[in-house]
Structure 1
């Protein structure tokens, strides 16, 4: 951890992606691959035995006392009591609230990121790790979560939401509920999906149905657990059908 005057002028992501000016990066990138590999290995090793988990996203700027903060804390608590570890970005605001709620009754995980400004991991974590590269961190969220819960947030929250939504839409991940919490906040986005994107034909009419929308923490847990039970039943039915077809073939 670096603070104050020890903070570098740029982040590892910036140095990786910036190809302007000096061509020194041509010689540095092969070594960066080893650092990237090390981050993947460390993340995989830390989270491999985590068990069922749900990622909770939302703004770092919404502090205690905000209705969204309180709601996130209740969501984290409900998920933990249902047997899920709660994974967040490890920072303040909604992330802290989700970790705080989960920390009381279950496993609380924070996946932080190096930023140009100081942002420490919050104090409500059982497991915490900070990454240099956004794409490594994103892989950890997707790989070790069985669902996403998205509370009000800004660009970072939207980035995680659309990444997960695209992976579900394209079939890269399956049995992956995405729950938007905060009907007043998210309803304009859902209206845009249906009234503009679907109307223009750039998404399928049923694509917005990939998202659940609620204000109730208990309903968040119910939506996720029911989706996973349904997914489990489908897997069992598919396995039984494949076994029957194989037996008939022999």
Structure 2
């Protein structure tokens, strides 16, 4: 499983949203680099299945069921990671939800707003907060948040989603200022159009056009893949990326420049 050419010091990595889409790809890429990986997701069975596949290929991986909006459950999950794998050195926050059907700003309900903020922003903060003490104790850490290019460009009828992901970008910058002197970098990757089950679900519901149509809007004339995001994430987790912090790493095919 391990690629000797890419192998760095083995460090425990936690990936939220590890059941589907970008999360499992990131987990696999980090496992390829030799890191023990914990995949956290509300879909616990699927996260465990991905972990079992990685283990069968020679990696060290576990899957844990957790809802990132549940602070106590997140704390418990991190303790499971520590018990089974060791202190957390890397955290990638890929857990998140989109808006589903577009909603004009005047029609966004309190429940819709609260749900997006709770999962995308507060959930990101909660998971990072639970992992940071391990990094501080070690004097080394990597925080990578998955935000969205729509938080850079804006998007109609998605104000609550854009706000939640914009908050993730701002949070990442704040963490970089506070934690980088302690050897902990924080960066965010805001994808644009990525071919994931969530994106395909939007197509099936008629919420977004077919991905091959959307691909014509991208300068590279193609949609991104989870592996594209995973490759950038894996680099940001290395020692070679130690001078990169507080940055927005746009893996978007040129969709936002």
TMscore range, shorter length:
0.3 to 0.5
The higher relative CO (CA closer than 8 Å, separation ≥ 6) is in 2
Larger Rg, first or second structure (1 or 2)? 1
